[in-house]
Every structure is written in C-alpha cells, then in structure tokens.
Amino acid sequence: MQAMTRPFHVRIEDLKLRDREPRNDVPPVAALTDGGKAFFLETFGCQMNDHDSEKVAGLLLSRGYQQVETPEAASLILYNTCSIREKAAQKVFSRLGEYREKQSAGKVIGVLGCVAQQEGEEIFRRAPWVNLVCGSASYRKLPEMLGQLEAGNQRVTGLDTDTDETFETEVTRRDNPWRAYLTIIEGCDKACSYCVVPFTRGPERSRASDSILREVRQLAELGYSEVQLLGQTVNSYADPTPRRMRFSELLLAVADVQGIRRVRFTTSHPSDFRPDIVEAIERQPKICDHVHLPVQSGSTRVLRAMQRTYSREEYLEKIALIRAANRPIAITTDVIVGFPGETEAEFEETLSLLDEVQYDSLFSFKYSPRPNTPSLSMNDSISEEEKSRRLAVLQDRQRGIQSAKNARLVGNRFEVLVSGKSRRDCQWSGYTTSHRMVNFASQGRELLGTYVQVRITGVTPNSLAGEHVT
C-alpha cells in the first residue's frame, strides 16, 4: 500500500472542461462541487501501476486538486488496482467495503486499473457506492470523466481498450526523487494462457521515441540521474515514428542524455530478447548490468501450455547470450509453480533450470486461475497445499543459490546510488547497477541521492552489507 503526500493548491474550476455543458437533471456529486478539492490515491500492484498512479496524481494536481494522506481528508478517493492474481482482486472488494461509509459522507470513489477493466460495470453492482470505474487504457479521458462527475453523473466509466493512445501527461508526480520511471510501451500483444494483462491493459502501444527522449531530457534537468524504462514486454518496443528506433538504440540514446547516469529497463520478454540489447549494455556502461527475464517454467511442455513462445532450450540460449557479455550482467526472473497439469518431474525441471542459470534473484508465484484467460478452461487440479509446497521448495533452492553467489561478492567494490537512510546513526542503503540492495555504514552527512563506492563486508541471501570507501 502506498499513500502519496504532496499538497498542491489550484482552483477546482480548472477541472471543468471548457466545452462541457452543465447538466441540470441530476444533483451533482457533492464532494467535487462544494469546495472539495483533495484526492487520496492508493496503489496496489506492479511498477507499471505505481507509475500510472504518478501520472494520475500529476494530472489531478495540474488540474486543481491537492493530494492528501488519508481517505478522511479527501473528497475524491481513488484506488488503483491489480488483478494479476486472485488474491489481489479480492483485496479490492474488501477495501471497497471499507470505503462504503465514506461515500455516504459525500465522497467520490473511483476504481482504476486492472480490476476496473476486468470487472467493469459489475463493480457498480457489487459496490453501488462507487462512482467511477476506469481501466488504464482510458486514463487520458480521466479529466473528462471527472468533469462528468462534477456535472452530476453518479456513475462514470472508461473501459475502452480499443485504443492506440499511450497515457502521457504534461505533469507527472514522481515519488522517487532520484529514479524516474517512464512507460515506453503499454499493453501486451503476447497471449500467455494464464495472464490477464492483454485483457486489462489492452493491445501493445509504443510511445514515440522523440517524446520519450524529450521527457528524459526534462527529467535530467530536474535532477533525476536514473531512469527506468517500463513495459510489460519493454523490449518489444516498436517506435511508431519514421525514425523506427530499435529498443537497443533507444537505450543508447537515453544513456546519451546529459545528466543521466543509469538506465534500467523492465520487463524483457525472452522471445524478443536479441543480441543487440546485450551489445548496447556492453558498449554503454550507463545501461545497467541487470536483465529481468521471466522464464515462468523450466519445462518445455509447460511453457507450451502457457503459450510462452519459447522452449527451455531457446530460453537458455538467451541466457548464454547474456552470460557471454564482456561485463557480468545480473539476471533475475519470474516463476509460476502449479500451472495446470504441471507434474512433479516438470516442477523438477524448473528447479534444475534454477541450478543451471544461477539467477541473482527471482519472484515466484503459485498459479492463480484468472477470468477470460485460456488456462481457465484447463483443470486446475494441483491442490493449494501442493502449490504451496512447490513454492517453498523453489524458494528454498533459490535462497541457497543467492547465499552462495552473494558470499562470493565479499571484498568487492560497488557503486551505490544512495536512496535510504536508517534511523540508526551512520547507516545508509541503496542499489548497485546490478540492482543489488546494499546496506552500508558511512560517516558522510548528505549522502541521499549521491553515488558512493561501497566495499562489501557481509551478505544475506537478499542483500549485501558494506562500508563506504573513498
């Protein structure tokens, strides 16, 4: 859960669309007209959702709202949702239950994101106190929708996914003062049989390269030194301008922007991962030495059932490409256990893949059947208990790999972008270019946002410990 806090005062009148005729037939939603100008935005889910929330917040701030820390202080409560796994979607309805009484206090309640797209108007039936349901492909129309609420509409929806527009805003409210996220491709054209994203985020749309580079230059001028390019399949980027910049060329062009010191990108799809990306990393040290390359399963039969478009062997060829680079590149992944029909032997193939690849870190999930997806018609016969067992075995195996890998880093020096300060004296934290978290000691005073050299003195499976060296 994440609450954002920066007040910004502008008149509510600015929210109204110039060409909109006021409606007299329905009483207006009280909160947005009786001087209410404050929004509370809560975000669940992935980095894309976090960044969408930053853009939604920027849009609202530029149009006259102030952002507040509690739903109580807000006239507009927005909930940016995730539906990637069942538990995430369930959380939305229980949270909406908590908001029920708030609407009776005259507040306007909106559901954004993947659950909004997936459940659509069903949300109004299950939670009639909700006023706005808007999927991510319709965020560009948010100001218009807010205008409709002001004009008296009690129920407003934005559920189109049939769009070639990307969600760009003039103002983005960014939560991290050093690392800026930038969506370069929205939606997804892959069709993994377990995944809701193609349904909730719509088809793939790439943002124009000149617009991306313009924003990166602005970010650098504002003092951001690290940018992370985002997309569900970020490396499927297809520049819609006549320039037709390849993804690897875009990485190099972003790194060339004066003031930018680190360029990250996530998530890469193995099928679109080609040698030119590794060549770009080799050529330009500002492109971080980290690739997140979700495998999902180590079994070719399961990968086929998942419609992942590559075999175990083809995936391992991509890994070999990365491992052959002239500087070490960290590799992380996502794995799903308990996909319908996954046998014990197939699960063991995933374990052997972990041994073979030696990932630096992984995210692991129990398979969760999702609405509209092809795998919903497959028999989800593996019990919850067995899925949990496989998850625990997998995580245990990976913990061992990470402990051994991290232990070999003791004595090494890394550059760390300092992003955290502990309450304990002289203790700081930050990330290496390979996205390893480092906690370290330093007598330095103003380290936040700076790049420092740290020598590693100790490790855990998930982080490194060290001391500042000059």
Q: What is the CA radius of gyration of the chain?
A: 23
166, 232, 361, 433: which one binds ligand SF4 (CB under 6 A) = 232
Q: Cβ 330 to ligand SAM, closest distance in Å?
A: 17
By beta-carbon proximity to ligand SF4, the closer residue of 343 and 372 is 372
Residue 198: contacted member of ligand SF4, ligand SAM, none (CB under 5 to 8 Å, by partner type): ligand SF4
By beta-carbon proximity to ligand SAM, the closer residue of 83 and 248 is 83
Residue 81: contacted member of ligand SF4, ligand SAM, none (CB under 5 to 8 Å, by partner type): none
75, 138, 233, 235: which one binds ligand SF4 (CB under 6 A) = 233
Three state DSSP letters for 270-287? HHHCCHHHHHHHHHCCCE
3-state secondary structure of 406: helix
Does 365 help bind ligand SAM (rule: CB under 6 A)? yes
Question: Rounded distance, CA 334 to CA 311, Å?
Answer: 16
By beta-carbon proximity to ligand SF4, the closer residue of 38 and 188 is 188
**Residues of span 399-458 touching ligand SAM by CB under 6 A:** none
Amino acid at 312: R
DSSP string computed for 39-101 = EEEEE-SSHHHHHHHHHHHHHHHHTT-EE-SSGGG-SEEEEEE--SSHHHHHHHHHHHHHHHH
374-411 residues labelled b (16+ CB within 10 A) or e (exposed): ebeebebebeeebbeebbeebeebbeebbeebbeebee
Q: Where are the extended beta strands (E) located within 113-203?
A: 132-134, 156-158, 179-183, 185-186
By beta-carbon proximity to ligand SAM, the closer residue of 151 and 188 is 188
Say how many residues touch ligand SF4, by CB under 6 A.
Answer: 9
Q: Cβ 430 to ligand SF4, closest distance in Å?
A: 29
**Residues of span 88-147 touching ligand SAM by CB under 6 A:** none
Site string for ligand SF4, 139-168 (x = CB under 6 A): ------------------------------
Does 334 help bind ligand SAM (rule: CB under 6 A)? yes
The torsion angles phi and psi of 197, rounded to 5 degrees, stand at -55, -45
**Residues of span 238-277 touching ligand SF4 by CB under 6 A:** 269
DSSP string computed for 309-369 = S--HHHHHHHHHHHHTSSS--EEEEEEEES-TT--HHHHHHHHHHHHHH--SEEEEEE---
By beta-carbon proximity to ligand SF4, the closer residue of 135 and 198 is 198
By beta-carbon proximity to ligand SAM, the closer residue of 307 and 429 is 307
Q: Cβ 216 to ligand SAM, closest distance in Å?
A: 23
Element (H, E) at 441: strand 437-441
Does 297 help bind ligand SF4 (rule: CB under 6 A)? no
Dihedral in degrees, nearest 10, Cα atoms 71, 72, 75, 79: 10
Encoding tokens for residue 437?
């978290």
37, 55, 269, 312: which one binds ligand SAM (CB under 6 A) = 269
From 72-80, 252-260, 362-370, 409-417, span contacting ligand SAM (CB under 6 A): 362-370
Residue 46: contacted member of ligand SF4, ligand SAM, none (CB under 5 to 8 Å, by partner type): ligand SAM
**Residues of span 220-239 touching ligand SAM by CB under 6 A:** 232-233
Does 84 help bind ligand SAM (rule: CB under 6 A)? yes
Element (H, E) at 221: helix 209-222
Please work out, in degrees rounded to the nearest 5, the angle formed at the alpha carbon of residue 149 by the alpha carbons of 143 and 152. 145
Q: Cβ 366 to ligand SAM, closest distance in Å?
A: 6
The CA–CA distances, whole Å, from 87 to 3, 49, 410, 441 equal 21, 17, 39, 39
Question: Rounded distance, CA 414 to CA 433, Å?
Answer: 8
Region of 16 please: left (phi>0), alpha (psi -120 to 50) or beta: beta
Residue 365: contacted member of ligand SF4, ligand SAM, none (CB under 5 to 8 Å, by partner type): ligand SAM
294, 298, 340, 430: which one binds ligand SAM (CB under 6 A) = 294
Question: Rounded distance, CA 285 to CA 186, Å?
Answer: 27
DSSP 296: B
Q: Cβ 158 to ligand SF4, closest distance in Å?
A: 21
Residue 71: contacted member of ligand SAM, ligand SF4, none (CB under 5 to 8 Å, by partner type): none
Nearest C-alpha neighbor of 437 from the set 280, 285, 332, 282: 332
Nearest C-alpha neighbor of 289 from the set 464, 432, 452, 453: 432
Number of CB atoms found within 10 A of residue 292's CB = 21
Does 169 help bind ligand SAM (rule: CB under 6 A)? no
Site string for ligand SF4, 168-197 (x = CB under 6 A): --------------------x-x-x--x-x
From 36-44, 152-160, 342-350, 360-368, span contacting ligand SAM (CB under 6 A): 360-368
By beta-carbon proximity to ligand SAM, the closer residue of 12 and 84 is 84
Which residues of this protein are in contact with ligand SAM, per CB under 6 A?
A: 46, 84-85, 194-195, 197, 232-233, 267, 269, 294, 296, 334, 336, 365, 367-368, 370
Which residues of this protein are in contact with ligand SF4, per CB under 6 A?
A: 188, 190, 192, 195, 197-198, 232-233, 269
